[in-house]
Chain A
Amino acid sequence: DVKVTQSSRYLVKRTGEKVFLECVQDMDHENMFWYRQDPGLGLRLIYFSYDVKMKEKGDIPEGYSVSREKKERFSLILESASTNQTSMYLCASSRPNREAFFGQGTRLTVV
């Protein structure tokens, strides 16, 4: 089975902290994605990566950055956390033109 693992299920951080969300996949997928999910807004794409060290902005990249130093790992970085970044964060991976597999999500609360 494909496994996409997010490092934390629940996270509480303070305003202004630098926050790292980690995602690891074990199926050698080329593509990896970070989404945030908010009530009434569905899933919105923050960043995606189609290869090691390659990244492209999604629809809402402001306030976020990403890192993909190894094929299996895709990190989302909140440079200075703010309360409006309180959300559910979902990581996914896929092969090109194939379905995406999702992690269980990280619920981040910024206080």
Chain B
Amino acid sequence: GNSVTQMEGPVTLSEEAFLTINCTYTATGYPSLFWYVQYPGEGLQLLLKATKADDKGSNKGFEATYRKETTSFHLEKGSVQVSDSAVYFCAPAGNFNKFYFGSGTKLNVKP
């Protein structure tokens, strides 16, 4: 079955530091891949997506590249801000667009 593994959190960084959150998945075929973000007290919002191998999704300074050979979709940002503090979820989409979410990685950015 489909599954996803994200790095354990919380991740604590200083403002302007470089961010990487690792995500690897197992899936049937070649699913579309998504990163969602959840700010405190809110539902999930789409951050970025990639629909085929070698695609790079990007939004708000975040990037992730669809790596078919390593079944990975790591999230990166060159310079984080305090406002990026949130929980980040990696989610491959399976049949019928069923999303499989990891446990989430909490990011704390300190001024």
Query: Which residue numbers of A lie inside 8 Å of B, CB to CB?
Result: 4, 31, 33, 35, 40-45, 48, 50, 56, 58, 90, 92, 94-105
Contact = CB atoms under 8 A, between A and B. Distances in A.
A20 B58 CA distance: 38
26 contacts: A4-B43, A31-B96, A31-B97, A35-B101, A40-B103, A42-B89, A42-B101, A42-B102, A43-B44, A45-B99, A45-B100, A58-B98, A90-B44, A92-B99, A94-B97, A95-B97, A96-B96, A97-B93, A98-B97, A100-B34, A100-B44, A100-B97, A103-B43, A104-B42, A104-B43, A105-B42
Contacts of A31: 96-97
B43 A105 contact: yes
Given A48-B96, A100-B99, A42 B104 contact: yes
Contacts of A35: 101
B3 to A, nearest CB: 10
A40 B100 CA distance: 15
Given A97-B32, A97-B93, A43 B101 contact: yes
